[in-house]
Structure 1
Amino acid sequence: VLCFAGEDEQSTEMAARWEDEKVTEAASDGFVAIKIDTKSEACLQFSQIYPVVCVPSSFFIGDNGIPLEVIAGSVSVEELVTRIHKVKQMHTGKGRPLENGSQASTPCPSSQSDGAPESPESRAGVCDTPEAAMPERIASSAGNDEANSGQASQEATNSADEQASHAQPVNDLTLKVERQVFLCRLLNVLTKKLEERREEKRKEEEQKEIKKEIERRKTGKEMLEYKRRQEEELTKRMLEERNREKAEEKAARERIRQQIAMDRAERAARFAKSKEEAEAAKAAALQAKQAEIDARKEAAQRERSAIARIQFRLPDGSSFTNQFPSEARLEEARQFAAQTVGNTYGNFSLATMFPRREFTKEDYGKKLLELELAPSASVVLLPAGRPATSVVQASGSDLWKFLGTILYPLLAVWRFISNFLFTSPPPSQPSVRSAHQQDHSAPSTSGSIEQSRQAVRKRVVEKRGEDFKKEGKIYRLRTQDDGEDENNTWNGNSTQQM
């Protein structure tokens, strides 16, 4: 019987059940009791063979090593006695009756009276682990063989009549052999476990040695790394010191160069002081002159703004111009136009083309400056009852007149070349009106405009002989700078021949 107990309440109760008188009387014959602490190494070794499921637990193992009954947890005294009798019946039913005194009955490990706590001596003597208790039990079993055999023979003689119906008792020698075999098996198992434990310890030692070696190598690497970092830091400090010295030298040189530059600038400033004064005087004179010019421009602008120059354009395309004060009324300009043209157009009104605007009676009382007719403007005379398209046509004819004036010189050159090539006789020279008469004349038909165009053409052709100079079949333009010196000739080496 192996009892596994811990320090919990159920283990304490189970130990009290084993100390009960009924249990002690029921387990007095044929039982060897061993108490094992669950925290001991013996419990660990036993659990390798027979699993210990719960604590507390009690194992009833036969002499062949097979568990006959396992009690898990704490049970009552009656249940425990019943289990003990059951185990006895199981053991007897297999033909192995328990002989009185065949095995030394061992009381429960905690069989002290009055529930007193166990003493170390009792725990050491009764609850030793199998490794420590096994040799003593083997010796005790060998020493008590003769006494057990005598007692067994006496009991067999006394109970021969009572057990006549049972099988023949087993020979004491067979029981001893089976007991020794069981003990040898248990010893072999324990020896194997001990060897495994020693192997585990050896492996653990090897692992510890390996870890120590790894730690030693790691420490060596760390030392080397530490030395390397120290060397790098030393080199870095030396390099930083050198760079700092170079920076200080560079800064000193820069300060010297700046001082030299400042000295040079000071000398140059002293040298150029007189020159700067002259330039300052010159700049002041230029500023005064510019101020005077600006004042003149402003005065001219004010004078120009004080006068409104108005061009009056007639329906036939002619025009005339007059100047009025910018503060004058538009009515004064209309009266001047009426005096100039007379009753030619009858009642008329004034208008501007850009922007297109026809002045009303309210506008005649306003100033020219308010009507944006200063400093210059162009006003069209619109006769009463004439549509606005007639004004546009007159403006268009005037535009054609302006373009014709620009293109006439080109046409004159073309006609000159045509007359020269085709030998046309030169036209007669008619009389041409002066420009002043054309400005103040007022032709009533478009024929007068065509006549003025023909007069311009004839005037250009008339001046052809004066503008060109003929040398054989070559003509060239005459300028005002042409003189007698142009008749000189030149030889091949750029020398003038007089």
Structure 2
Amino acid sequence: MSQKMNWFNGSIPEAIQRSKQQKVLFIVYVHGQNDMSTEMDKVWNDPEVITLCNSSGSVAIKLAANSEACGHFSQIFPVVVVPSTYFIGVNGAPIEVTAGHKEKAEFVKVIQNVIKLHNDQLSAAQPSPPTAVVQPSTSTAQSTAPSTSTQPAEIEKPPLEERVQKAKEKMEIKREEKQKTEKEKVKEEEKERRKLGKDLQKLKDFQKERELKDSAEQMRKEKAEEKRQRDKIREQIARDREERAARFRKETQEQKLAAEEKKQAQLSARQKLTEEEEAKKMEMTRIQVRLPDGTSISNTFPSSDILRSVYTVVSGRIGADVTLSTVYPKRIFTQEDMSQTLLSLNLVPSSVLIAVPRKSNVISKPGNSGGGILAFILAPFLFLWNMIRVFLFGGSSQEKVEDTPPTSEESQPSSQRRTRPQTAYQRRPIRSEGNVRRLTEMRDDDDENATWNGNSTQQM
């Protein structure tokens, strides 16, 4: 059956009182929750250590480092390192203090040395029996006198003074030995005190070093934790940026798609409106026809009408057969073209046509040929003279028209002459030079505001 360590279950004062009464060694073991305490508990549970402590009759008490009893004990003996073992003698001074974990063999040697030192202290503390000098009384001397006188001389005791002197010498020797023992005890105590001071200093240094290591380890852990938190925050920021960028790209794409759809819708609506306007424009066309006398007529025709409708209006206005043609590109319409629509002939939405009579209706009178040639020769001089006269005396070329003799066309009956069509525009004055008539301005006001389009050279 395995032995168990006989730990004292009472308080520290009770343990101290028992150790003093029994004059045995007082052992205090302070343990904690660290790894060294766990290893030291295994050493205390070793059978050899248990046998040494129990056989010496020591009072051993076990204290937890965070207990109230340990706090009271540390006020007397500072607890620097956990675990620690304090071996205290009967005089209340520690004989040995061990700090930290000790191996079994080393701890057994420490216990054996402490037990030996404790026994030495006990033997030195016991007083030696005093040597008493007993003087015989008178009656005893008297009663023993006859007997002493009858004893032989060789067994006679030494004189009293000699015995007293020997006793004094022995007492002096004992006193010197006691002083020597006390001096040695003081030396040993001083050694123990110095040793305890060194051990305490080592404990303090060890504790300080341990605190520095723990502080460095704590700082390292805190830095690692801070770095981990910073990395986590950076990752979160990066994810947030990516999400914002993706959301921004998505919103931008949606906005672009919406803008594109809106633009396409607007283009479709505009194109549809343009097509409707073009369709409306293509439904009707405005045709302007320039007549041989310099005037022009304008009329609006449906795009589905054929060219013969225009021809009928123009020929009816002139009173003669005419040929219709375009200015640019130059094209003369034939009889086959008369049955085609204005849309198929690219005369939509507006066009300008030129009407040319097929046969001349001007009949020259005999005998006027010479006058015509003369008028043709003198025409430049007459034009120059008119310009000078207008510049010097004022007037207009209309007066010249009134003074000129009637031409062959004017001399014809009114039924045979072509009447100039009355339009909404102001007519320009005509200048006559012999048998030749010239228009001062071949274009009407409507022609001056003409514009270009893709189908014809001018647009009304």
Q: What TM-score, normalized by structure 2, do the two folds share?
A: 0.27
Q: What TM-score, normalized by structure 1, do the two folds share?
A: 0.26
